[in-house]
Amino acid sequence: MMTVDPAELSRLQASKTIGIIGLGDMGMLYARRFTQAGWRVVGCDKEEHFERFKSEISDFEVVLNGHYVSRKSDYTIYSVEAENMDKIVSMYCSSTKVGGIVGGQTSCKNVEIAAFEKYLPKDVEIVSVHSLHGPKVNTTGQPLVLIKHRASDDSFRFVEILMSCLKSKIVYLSAEEHDKITADTQAVTHAAFLSMGVAWHNTNQYPWETPKWVGGLENAKINISLRIFSNKWHVYAGLAITNPSAHKQILQYATSVTELFTLMMKGRKQELKERMYRAKEKVFGHLGKEHEMLLNDDILQQFSLSKSPPEGKQLNSHLSILAIADSWSVLGIVPYDHNICSTPLFRIFLGITEYLFCTPGLLEECLEVGISQTEFREDDLEFTLAARSWHSIISFGSFDLYRQQFERTQKFFSPMLPEANKLGNEMIKTILERIHEKET
């Protein structure tokens, strides 16, 4: 954690105003936390929401639109949908205070920085941010990326001091580095869990009601998938569609799923084994004997959505997990290198993959099931189709199709989403505490 001189903090808080454009989940989180820490905050949402926000919010100033925010603020953060970033920046940027600083919270920096460079007056500085967690996660200790794109050291220091109230772990990156890492971590993780959800939907199963999806690994898959479907579609669409590096990762994931499923169907056991052992060596080969695994089946066992979880476990090919290790292997990604900059969902995906590959005998068991049992063929086929369909939608850049596919499955799961969210929060809290213990 950085140290902040109290006198410097008081001087900045007395002289600077922080602006937030977009008072949705993340914008509101920032506005509230900055206000509570003693900063002067001014925010806005869409003009049509002004009266509602004005009557509901009393702890910071709410104004009609982004022009009023920009004129007053020394640091303005755009916290809006990625799809509309270019349009919204073009609307308000010319009102930015002379000599001010501007940044954004969007999950991919490619479009955000391009919009700032295109529309902002040259005297305006650019420092962008990205909190690598959802709005309901405790910010303490979570990664927060800071991007000093066009700014003096003093201006950057001001943003660092402002952000210190979140008690997050600051990670310093360029916009390009940020997008490359988040493509490797977030985008492909979401693609996997979105595909699980669509596959369950297309086979008309609520997995917590089916005796097939039993045990800790299955609980993690179900809870994360439903957690994603309980969020807003635009968050996931934006970070996948607007990030060119993400397209490559998601294509590789869909290709790995297809190729592994084909080997299973054809019964090409030796080829499948060699490929997965190669992936194991490339992704997990560097872990020493003393490496303590983050997750195991027992820890995850307690987080079942089922009212009376069946005993024992059902063997599964775990195609979705085999395919992520294969993708990392083919693309030469060592996921542990990204731990410093990872989201809770990515850490869990890595944790369950590590568990499957590093528990003696478990990988062999999965490969055997994949080759010789037909119990999961239909599910694996639907999963393959879903992974390929998400890849098509993302590579065509269609926000509209993304929304349709997402909301269709969201509706299917809607009766269970509140409960799944509660359980998912508990599961994430437990796992984050475990990560914290391991790190300290």
Ligand X SMILES: NC(=O)C1=CN([C@@H]2O[C@H](COP(=O)(O)OP(=O)(O)OC[C@H]3O[C@@H](n4cnc5c(N)ncnc54)[C@H](OP(=O)(O)O)[C@@H]3O)[C@@H](O)[C@H]2O)C=CC1
Ligand Y SMILES: O=C(O)C(=O)Cc1ccc(O)cc1
> Which residues would be at the binding site for ligand X (CB under 6 A)?
21-27, 44-46, 66, 79-82, 84, 88, 105-107, 131, 134-135, 232, 235, 238-239
250 in Cβ contact with 386 (< 8 Å): no
User: How buried is 118 (Cβ within 10 angstroms: 0-12 exposed, 13-18 middle, 19+ buried)?
Assistant: exposed
Q: Which does 224 bind (CB under 5 to 8 A by kind): ligand X, ligand Y, none?
A: none
Q: Does 432 bind ligand Y (CB under 6 A)?
A: no
Residue 22 or 424 having the CB closest to ligand X: 22
**Residue among 272, 276, 345, 432 that touches ligand Y (CB under 6 A):** 345
Q: Which does 192 bind (CB under 5 to 8 A by kind): ligand Y, ligand X, none?
A: none
Both tokens of 204, joined, read: 């008309």
Residue whose CB is nearest to ligand X in the complex, by number: 24
Q: Which does 238 bind (CB under 5 to 8 A by kind): ligand X, ligand Y, none?
A: ligand X
Residue 186 as a binder of ligand Y (CB under 6 A): the answer is yes
Residue span binding ligand Y (CB under 6 A) among the ranges 129-137, 198-206, 242-250, 330-338: 129-137
Helix (H) or strand (E) holding 172: strand 169-172
Contacts of ligand Y in 133-152 (CB under 6 A): 133-134
Q: Is the dihedral of CA 238, 244, 246, 248 positive or negative?
A: positive
Are residues 318 and 217 in contact, defined by beta-carbon separation less than 8 angstroms?
Answer: yes
What is the identity of the amino acid at 40? Answer: R
Site for ligand Y contains 20 (CB under 6 A): no
The span from the first CA to the last CA of the chain, in angstroms, equals 14
Alpha carbons 89 and 126: distance in angstroms, whole number: 13
Longest alpha-carbon distance in the chain? 70
239 is a site residue for ligand Y (CB under 6 A): yes
Which DSSP symbol is given to 292? P
- Residue 77 Cα distances to 30, 34, 102, 211, angstroms: 9, 12, 6, 47
Touching ligand Y, residues 358-387 (CB under 6 A): none
Least distance in Å: CB of 132 to ligand X?
Answer: 7
DSSP helix/strand/coil, 119:
helix
Q: Work out what residue 81 binds among ligand X, ligand Y, none; the CB cut-off runs from 5 to 8 Å by kind.
A: ligand X
Residue closer to ligand Y by CB (options 72, 347) is 347
Smallest distance from ligand X to CB 81, Å: 6
Q: Indicate the DSSP class of residue 167.
A: -
Residues that bind ligand Y in the complex, under the rule CB under 6 A: 107, 132-134, 186, 228, 235, 239, 343-345
